[in-house]
Amino acid sequence: MNKLTLRQWIVPICLVTLLACAGVSPQEVPEYPTPTLQKSGTIILLGDTQRTLWVEFWREQNDSIREVIFPQILTHLPLAIVHLGDIVNWGASNSEWEYFDRISKPARDAGVGFVNVLGNHEYYGRNAIAFKKISARFPIMRRSLAEKRSWNYTVIDSIAFLVLDSNIEELTTEQIDEQSTWLDSTLKALNTNSLVRNVVLCTHHPAYTNSTVAEEVEEVQEFIRTASRVSRKFTLAASGHAHTYEHFKVTNTLDVIVTGGGGGPRQELQPAKDSLHYDTYNGGVIRNFNYCTILRNNDTLHVAMMHFNENTKTWQEGDRFDAVPIQPNK
C-alpha cells in the first residue's frame, strides 16, 4: 500500500510541492466522533466533498455548497454520517484536511458519528502521510490501518455498514484476497448476529453508473454478487465517485445507489437512450448536489435523496424508496 502508482502522478509535480508545503506548521487535528451504536435515528450517506484541483480550472468550483451542506445535514438530527470517500482532493495535504475540518465542524461539534470510506483522492500523495492524517481523525479507520487493512464494518442502529476499499490498484494481491475473504466471513457471521437487521455495502467506486467521466468497477460488482449470495440481510449498496445521483435495481430486488453530490465538480450522465443501466431516478444528465438519509423501521430502510434546488436555493427531497433485505441466491 506504500508504493506510489503512476495514476498518483497525473497532477504536475509543482502541485505536490505546493500541497506539501501548505501544511508544514503544527496543527491541532480534531478526532471525529465514533457512532453511538445503541441509539436509533437518521443516518446520512454523503460522498465526494473534495475541492476541485486547481489544475482542473475548467471544472466547477463548488465552495458555496460545501459551506452549507453540513449545517443542512444537521437539520435531520443524524446519528452518523457515512462518508463514501473523496473527503479531500489530496490525501497527503494538511491544508485540504484543515479545510474539511472547518466545514464539517458543525457536525463534529454536534457529536455526529463519522464512518469513512477511502476514495481515490485519499490516496493522492504518499500513502503513509495520507493514512497518518486519516488515522488521526477517524478512530474506526485508524484501527483498520493499524492492522494493514483498509476495510471494516460498523453497526449503527442495527445496520451493519460494511466499508470496503475499491481502490483495487492500490492494494497488493494479498490484500485483495484478504479483503474478499473478510467480506465472505463477515457476511456469514452477521447472518447470526441478533443485533444486526440490515447490511449496507459501502464503496467509493460504483458497481454501476451511467457517468461519462467515472467508470464502474468489476470488483465492486463482485462484492455485490458475494453479498447477494452469502448474506440474508443484504439490503443496499452505496457508492460515490461519480459526482451525481443514480438509483438502480439489480435483479429487481437489490437497491444500488450512487450519491456523490457533496461538492465535487458534477459529472454528466449518458442520456437515457445511450445509458448502460436503467436508472429509476429521472433527473436529467447533470444532477443537483445531493446526499441521502436512511431511517430504519424494523428491517426496512426508508431511503431519501435530498438535493439542492439552485433556482429556489433550498434543499428538497428528490428520490425516496424503501429497501428490504434480499434473499440469497440459491
Beta strands in the chain (DSSP E): 43-46, 80-83, 113-116, 152-156, 159-163, 198-202, 234-239, 245-250, 254-259, 290-297, 300-309, 314-323
Q: Is the dihedral of CA 166, 231, 221, 271 positive or negative?
A: negative
**What's the pLDDT tens digit per position in 157-167?**
999 999 999 99
- Provide the pLDDT for residue 159: 98
**What's the pLDDT tens digit per position in 92-105?**
999 999 999 999 99
* 248 vs 273: CA distance, rounded Å: 16
Predicted confidence band at 330 (pLDDT cuts at 50, 70, 90)? very low
**What's the pLDDT tens digit per position in 199-258?**
999 999 999 999 999 999 999 999 999 999 999 999 999 999 999 999 999 988 999 999
How many other C-beta atoms can be found within 10 angstroms of the C-beta atom of residue 295? 17
Mean of all residue pLDDT scores within the chain: 92
Predicted confidence band at 2 (pLDDT cuts at 50, 70, 90)? very low
Residue with cell 431516478: 281
Residue with cell 467506486: 205
Alpha helix locations (H) across the chain? 13-22, 63-74, 94-103, 105-109, 127-137, 139-146, 173-191, 218-230
Report the C-alpha dihedral over residues 91, 215, 201, 172, rounded to 10 degrees: -60
Alpha helix locations (H) across 60-166? 63-74, 94-103, 105-109, 127-137, 139-146
Work out the angle between the directed axes of helices 127-137 and 94-103 (0-180°, nearest 10).
20
Strands 314-323 and 300-309: antiparallel
How many other C-beta atoms can be found within 10 angstroms of the C-beta atom of residue 39? 11
Closest residue by Cα to residue 204 from 237, 180, 250: 237
93 neighbors 125 (Cβ within 8 angstroms): yes
- Provide the pLDDT for residue 189: 98
DSSP state of 141: H
Residue with cell 451493519: 160
pTM of the model: 0.92
117 neighbors 111 (Cβ within 8 angstroms): no
Strand ranges of the sheet holding 234-239, from the earlier edge strand across to the other edge: 152-156, 159-163, 198-202, 234-239, 254-259, 245-250
Q: Is the pLDDT of residue 11 over 70?
A: no
- Provide the pLDDT for residue 4: 45
CB contact set of 179 (below 8 Å; sequence gap of 6+): 149, 151, 164, 165, 171
Measured at the alpha carbon of residue 243, what is the angle toward residues 37 and 89, in degrees to the nearest 5? 80
Domains of the chain with bracketed CATH: 8-323 (3.60.21.10)
Work out the angle between the directed axes of helices 13-22 and 94-103 (0-180°, nearest 10).
60
**What's the pLDDT tens digit per position in 83-138?**
999 999 999 999 999 999 999 999 999 999 999 999 999 999 999 999 999 999 99
Predicted confidence band at 55 (pLDDT cuts at 50, 70, 90)? confident
- Provide the pLDDT for residue 12: 42
**What's the pLDDT tens digit per position in 264-305?**
999 999 999 999 999 999 999 999 999 999 999 999 999 999
* 181 vs 83: CA distance, rounded Å: 24
Residue with cell 437539520: 75
DSSP state of 269: B
C-alpha cell at 22: 501548505
